[in-house]
Amino acid sequence: LVRFNPFSEMGGDHSFSLALLDAHLTGFIITGLHTRERTRVYIKKIENGKCKQDLSKEEREALKKASI
- 51 contacts: CB under 8 Å, gap ≥ 6: 29, 44, 45, 59, 63
Q: Is the pLDDT of residue 10 over 70?
A: no
pLDDT in tens, 27-65: 999 999 988 888 999 999 999 999 999 999 999 999 999
For residue 28, the SS3 value is strand
Phi, psi of 64 (to 5 degrees): -60, -45
Distances (CA, A) of 47 to 1, 3, 23, 53: 18, 23, 11, 11
pLDDT at residue 56, as a whole number = 96
For residue 63, the SS3 value is helix
Which residues, in sequence order, are bridge partners of residue 19? 29
Global model pTM greater than 0.85: yes
